[in-house]
Amino acid sequence: MAETVRAAVVEDEPPARLGLRALLAREPSIVLVHECADLPHALRALRREPVDLLFLDVQLAGQNGFDLLSALGPARPPAVVFVTAYDHHAVRAFDVEAVDYLLKPFDDQRFAQALGRAMERLRLHGAQKLARQLADSLAPGAPPAPEGRTVTLRDGARTTFLREDEIDWIEAQDYYVEIHAGGNAHLHRETLRELEARLDPKRFVRIHRSAIVQVDRIRRLQSLPSGDATVLLKDGTVLRVARSRREAIRALLHLA
């Protein structure tokens, strides 16, 4: 992680923005790059100048903070802390891998706890990025990648290349991912979100916080009486779908 952490605040209430600005100003390692009051402004700012850490309100003048993360896609900041007066969004917040969920009003101690979690997320993100760069530079004897878009997997001294069209689905395993391809499973040290950033977004879809599926491997989307849903893959695998992802999957499958 870089010594300086670039941060943004997306909050439609001026007093709340002022409070977050004051708290962040106490941190010498943090530079507040953007303050935004609405989703369009935030989306333009974060696309133009990405940040490491985002403090994000859920309700934004009739809009939704989750929509901002969806619009940013894999380019979203590595660490996101939700700041809101409503506790009923907490499950969805962690479904999108938020670092923390601050309920207003909060005190300095609770803010410090959330910030500590965010800094730890950034530390891990930076360490994993550096490890991949070192592995790239220290593997001159690695076999050349096949033609076409590929995913490079490393396990010690062994390097494996998988074409994207070979991948069926991917699941998170703590700081690893398990990639399922043609009946085989490959364990790779990388977080699910980091791997997602390297995949073709037109080909792969996140179905919940722990799984990504290749769209053309989905046989059908099944709604359950409880309101939950599952997908059945062509190889017979059944996977749970997060409620927050269901409509996006319906659209991808042209079921909307």
Residue-range domains of the chain with CATH: 5-133 (3.40.50.2300), 150-252 (2.40.50.1020)
pLDDT on residue 53? 94
Mean pLDDT is lowest, of 32-46, 79-93, 183-197, 221-235, for: 79-93
The CA distance from 217 to 237, in Å, is 10
Q: Residue 81: which of 42, 39, 115 has the closest Cα? A: 115
- Residue with the bigger pLDDT between 47 and 151: it is 47
Q: What is the 3-state secondary structure (H, E, C) of the chain?
A: CCCCEEEEEECCCHHHHHHHHHHHHCCCCEEEEEEECCHHHHHHHHHHCCCCEEEECCEECCEEHHHHHHHHHHHCCCEEEEEECCHHHHHHHHHCCCCEEEECCCCHHHHHHHHHHHHHHHHHHHHHHHHHHHHHHCCCCCCCCCCCCEEEEEECCEEEEEEHHHCCEEEEECCEEEEEECCEEEEECCCHHHHHCCCCCCCEEEEECCEEEEHHHEEEEEECCCCCEEEEECCCCEEEECHHHHHHHHHHCCCC
Model pLDDT for residues 11-37, shown as the tens digit of each residue: 999 999 999 999 999 999 999 999 999
pLDDT band with cut points at 50, 70 and 90 for residue 64: confident
Mean pLDDT is lowest, of 100-109, 130-139, 166-175, for: 130-139
Joined tokens for residue 164: 């994207």
pLDDT on residue 3? 64
The CA distance from 197 to 190, in Å, is 11
Model pLDDT for residues 149-199, shown as the tens digit of each residue: 677 776 665 667 788 888 999 999 877 889 999 888 888 888 888 888 888
Task: Give bridge partners of residue 30 from the DSSP assignment.
Answer: 5
Q: Average per-residue pLDDT in the chain?
A: 83
Mean pLDDT is lowest, of 117-126, 142-151, 179-188, 213-222, for: 142-151
Q: Is the per-residue pLDDT at 141 higher than 80? A: no
